[in-house]
Amino acid sequence: MVKVSLTVNGVKYDLDVPPTERLLDTLRNRLGISSVKEGCGRGECGSCIVLVNGNPVHSCLTLTSRLDGAEVTTLEGLAPQGKLHAIQVAFIEARGVQCGFCTPGFIMITKALLDRVKEPSEKEIRRWLSSVLCRCGSYPLYFEAVKRAAKYIKEGKIYFDEKEVREKYHLKVLAR
Ligand code: FES
Ligand code: FES
């Protein structure tokens, strides 16, 4: 077993993990973080993407034992309790989500993109979002969501009240 100290969504964890344990399994099975999805398990679908020290990584290909001292951010860590991040709101408003399996991956790759490029071009949006596969074919709506999120962030609207968004869009359950 390997001792690893990891900060996930702002909370520090001291873990003993097998050397070959994937970050995907650490997040889902040890820490109960369910937004991180396993699709292909081999770095192709992008549904498992999280941020490690601000960089997007496939958690299915990342060994937790190599992450001592790292900061990991998942969808659950994008906004404080009771709030939703502008990217989450933009994805809701674009009505791009069908089954939703791919959505956390798209939101996390969008976060990585907008952290680097405030006003991405269509080409940049398509290139970054090509890291994630959507079997429901929601790409055009997701492209719109990224543009909408960029606009919100540019206007300084980073966080939205979760209760208000729920009521406005009649949402019973929101992934955080
Ligand atoms: S589950 Fe990691 S890329 Fe598909
Ligand atoms: S919304 Fe179903 S896989 Fe993308």
* Ligand 2 binding site (Cβ under 6 Å of any ligand atom): 97-102, 134-136, 138
* Ligand 1 binding site (Cβ under 6 Å of any ligand atom): 38-41, 43-48, 58, 60
Q: What is the band of 176 on the pLDDT scale with cuts at 50, 70, 90? A: very low
pLDDT value, residue 169? 86
Residue 156 to residue 16: CA distance in whole angstroms: 40
Amino acid at 168: K
Contact in structure between 26 and 41 (CB atoms under 8 Å): no
**Ligand 2 mutation pick, 135, 139, 142, 143, max ligand atoms within 8 A of CB:** 135
Structure tokens at 23: 């970050």
Closest ligand to Cα 23: 1
Per-residue pLDDT of 50-101, as tens digits, reads: 999 999 999 999 999 999 999 999 999 999 999 999 999 999 999 878 888 9
Question: How remote is the CA of residue 72 from the centroid of ligand 1, in Å?
Answer: 17
Pairing relationship of beta strands 49-52 and 11-17 according to DSSP bridges = unpaired
Pairing relationship of beta strands 55-58 and 49-52 according to DSSP bridges = antiparallel
Please, which residues bridge with residue 58 across strands? 49
User: 118 in helix, strand or coil?
Assistant: coil
pLDDT value, residue 98? 84
Per-residue pLDDT of 148-166, as tens digits, reads: 999 999 999 999 999 999 8
Closest ligand to Cα 49: 1
User: 12 in helix, strand or coil?
Assistant: strand
Alpha helices in 21-79 (DSSP H): 23-25
* Residues 6+ positions from 40 with CB-CB distance below 8 Å: 47, 60
Q: Which domains does the chain have, with CATH numbers?
A: 2-77 (3.10.20.30), 83-169 (1.10.150.120)
Please, which residues bridge with residue 5 across strands? 14
Residue 138 to residue 140: CA distance in whole angstroms: 6
Per-residue pLDDT of 117-131, as tens digits, reads: 999 999 999 999 999
Residue 145 to residue 132: CA distance in whole angstroms: 15
Q: Which of 79, 101, 100 is nearest to 165 (CA)?
A: 79
Question: How remote is the CA of residue 41 from the centroid of ligand 2, in Å?
Answer: 17
